[in-house]
Amino acid sequence: MTDSTDHRHEERIAHLERDLSDLSEQVARQQAEIGTLTRRLGLLLDREAERESEGGGGVLLADRPPPHY
């Protein structure tokens, strides 16, 4: 291989390494966000289960007709 070919390969590897690092950081951020959303969903499900067990079921908003009826 010539020097120019070696140089092009080195540049390509450097770009790929940077892309890999960027993607790794993005995956780590998304994993943290998924963890946060999972915890929040758990809290909401617990709250709803508690509300239902206290007899506060009542009429759900989805069961009501829209205000313009």
For residue range 7-22, what is the model confidence (pLDDT) as tens digits? 999 999 999 999 999 9
Residue 30 lies in a domain: yes
Q: Where does residue 2 fall: left (phi above 0), alpha (psi -120 to 50 degrees), or beta otherwise?
A: beta
Residue 64 lies in a domain: no
pLDDT tens, residue by residue, 17-59: 999 999 999 999 999 999 999 999 999 999 999 988 887 655 5
> Which residues form the domain of 41?
23-48
Q: What angle do CA 16, 13, 6 make, to 5 degrees?
A: 155
Alpha helices in 1-69 (DSSP H): 3-53
Considering its fold, how many domains does the chain have in total? 1
Q: Give CA–CA dist 32/19, Å, rounded.
A: 20
- Residue 29 structure tokens: 């951020």
